[in-house]
Chains A and B, each alone.
Chain A
Amino acid sequence: MADKLIPTPSQTVGPFFHLGMAHPEWADLAAADTAGEHIVIEGRVIDGDGAPVPDACVEVWQANAAGRYNHPDDTQTDKPLDPKFHGFGRTATDAEGRFRIATIRPGPVPGRGNALQAPHINVVLFARGLLKHLCTRIYFADEPANATDPLLSSIEDEAVRGTLLARPAGEGSPKRYRFDIVMQGENETAFLDI
């Protein structure tokens, strides 16, 4: 243990991250022929004053429609990989704090032990004023499997649990969901220590 190196501390991404991290095309995770239900997730990033955060960066990582991550450690060989789906995305908020991710609805993925996790998208948030990124997850409010999801089930306060749910925002194709990230205060998003 004593021989271990100390990991590098996190430092804020600052207000100028677009210079090195801007890839607007990364906000679209899915190609036209990616398997699964195509969806759009839209929302805003809000600070403790309820003001929009115009200089945040949202990154997402998710499984494909079958519930498999495109990563060598995901050994669920009974589920297909989708050559048209990588699973990572990134976008920056605009002047009104809004962001938009176009993707496919992920399948359920294994949890710890024999648990199954409801479909979800893993999220990290970077911004000026965040010395280290915030982590959360996007679940889907209209997903029956939420009832048995280990993380959601562990959150007793329904209002807090509700901050992890993307809510349907009108039908049509692709289906749209709304997911706001509240950094502080009333309706503060449930953040995760991962």
Chain B
Amino acid sequence: MKTPAPFARPRPDTQPPYLYPDYASTVKRSPKRPPIRLEHTLSETTGPVFGDRWAGADATDLTRQHKGAPLGERMILNGRVLDEDGRPVPGTLIELWQCNSAGRYHHPVDQHDAPLDPNFTGAGQVVTGASGGYRFLTIKPGAYPWRNTPNAWRPAHIHFSVFGPGFATRLVTQMYFPGDPLLAYDPIFQSTADSGARERLVCHYDPELSEAEWALGYRFDLVLRGREATPADPA
């Protein structure tokens, strides 16, 4: 059979390196040998297809997973999953997780001295619609300290996991907020050299999306690798 068109390779500096010493945990977890470049086969161009049944029920309202309302600034998060040619990526699974408004994760490993919120877990998931769209209702996460360097603070962020059409489009990333002064100091955000690529990680405030007397609206599109230009079939 004919191998489907491969996915495009990233342009220089638009993805982070494995070794980035400013982020201390990369030092012992980054390979020393360069990875072996693999031309795509069916193994890379295919990937899991998620029906609603397989992925489980949508969980898009993170403010109604408990008896009461979580504390914090309510926010509507709306966006699309696209490929780099701007084409929507429908039917793909998005998983999302975040800390609460005080900067604490509902996770046993997180021992930050900030309160847990009994009304907030901070996990959601959805399968994108026909236009690649998704929508969550949540609260704005807080900043929190981490021990990368003394007095280091992570900017407020929401973690995203998305699959796309093939195993080669798999992406786990983090979404940040516009104007956050911590971005300039955050080695995880700064690890991608290209400033245009970094901007991709910052959501946009959208007054049209905000709901009066209720919640702020933010837009965040996720852009996955597109296909390489298809070469002409060899004669």
| Distance in Å: Cβ of A5 to nearest Cβ of chain B | 5
- The answer to whether residues A6 and B223 also contact, given A109-B41, A188-B33 and a CB cut-off of 8 A, is yes
A16 contacts which chain B residues (CB < 8 A)? 97, 99, 105, 107, 109-110, 159
- A62's nearest neighbour on chain B, judged by CB, is B43
Assess whether A27 is interfacial by the CB under 8 Å rule. Answer: no
Give the distance to chain B from A14, nearest Cβ to Cβ, in Å: 6
Fill in one digit per residue for A58-69: 1 if any B CB lies within 8 Å of its CB, else 0: 010101000001
CA distance A74 to B106 in the complex (A): 40
Count of A interface residues, CB-CB < 8 Å: 72
B101 smallest CB distance to A (angstroms): 15
Residue of B at shortest CB range from A89? B48
Contacting A at CB under 8 A, from B150-202, are: 159, 161, 165-168, 170-174, 188-189, 191-192, 194, 196-198, 200-201
Q: List the A residue with the shortest CB-CB distance to B37.
A: A193
- Whether a CB of chain B sits under 8 angstroms from the CB of A126 is yes
Q: Judging by beta carbons under 8 Å apart, are A184 and B48 in contact?
A: no
Residue of B nearest to A53 (CB): B29
**A129 and B167 contact, CB distance less than 8 A:** no
Residue A134 interfacial (CB < 8 Å): yes
Query: Does A140 sit within 8 A of B, measured CB to CB?
Result: no
Q: Indicate if B205 sits at the interface (CB-CB under 8 A).
A: no
Whether the Cβ atoms of B167 and A8 lie closer than 8 Å is: no
CA–CA, A162 and B147, complex, Å? 37
Could you tell me if B123 and A8 are in contact, using CB atoms closer than 8 angstroms?
A: no
List residues of chain B with CB within 8 A of the CB of A20.
95-97, 122-125, 159, 161
- Residues A155 and B223 in contact in the complex (CB < 8 Å), given A9-B14, A11-B172, A74-B42: no
Min CB gap B105→A, angstroms: 5
In B102-130, the 8 Å CB interface with A consists of 105-107, 109-110, 121-125
A contact residues around B15 at 8 Å (CB): 7, 9-10, 132
Interface string of B77-101 (1 = CB under 8 A from A): 0000010111000000001110100
User: Does A11 contact B107, Cβ atoms closer than 8 Å?
Assistant: no
Contact at B39–A112, with CB atoms within 8 Å? Answer: yes
Name the contact of A193 in the complex, choosing from B36, B42, B56, B106 (C-beta under 8 A): B36
Cα–Cα distance between A135 and B47 once the two chains are bound (Å): 14
Q: A6-B223, A10-B15 are in contact. Are A131 and B188 (CB under 8 A)?
A: yes
* In contact, B28 and A14 (Cβ under 8 angstroms): no
Residues of B within 8 A of A (CB-CB), count: 84
In angstroms, Cα B46 to Cα A117, docked, is 15
Chain A interface main SS type: loop
With A10-B173, A11-B173 known as contacts, the answer to whether A110 contacts B41 (CB < 8 A) is yes
Contact of B32 with A191 in the complex, beta carbons under 8 Å: no
Hey, which chain B residues are within 8 Å of A151, CB to CB?
Answer: 36, 38
* Alpha-carbon distance A110/B40, docked complex (angstroms): 11
The answer to whether B41 touches A112, judged by C-beta atoms less than 8 angstroms apart, is yes
Contacts of A132 in B (CB 8 A): 15-16, 18
For A51, A53, A87, the residue with the greatest tally of chain B CB atoms inside 10 Å of its CB is A87
In the complex the two chains form, is A130's CB within 8 Å of B26's CB?
Answer: yes
Chain B residues with CB below 8 A from A11, complex form: 16, 159, 172-174, 188-189, 191, 201
User: 7 closest pairs, A vs B, by CB?
Assistant: A20-B97, A129-B25, A88-B48, A129-B29, A71-B46, A131-B16, A48-B28
11 A-B pairs with C-beta separation under 8 A: A6-B200, A9-B192, A11-B191, A71-B49, A71-B166, A75-B2, A122-B44, A129-B28, A191-B36, A192-B35, A193-B35
Extra contacts besides A7-B197, A110-B3, A190-B33 (20): CB < 8 Å = A5-B86, A7-B14, A7-B84, A8-B200, A8-B201, A9-B15, A15-B109, A20-B95, A63-B42, A70-B49, A74-B1, A120-B43, A124-B170, A128-B25, A129-B28, A130-B30, A131-B188, A192-B38, A193-B37, A194-B167
List residues of chain A with CB under 8 Å of any chain B CB. Answer: 4-21, 23, 47-49, 51, 53, 55, 59, 61, 63, 69-76, 86-88, 109-112, 117, 120, 122, 124, 126-135, 137, 151, 154-155, 160, 183-185, 188-194
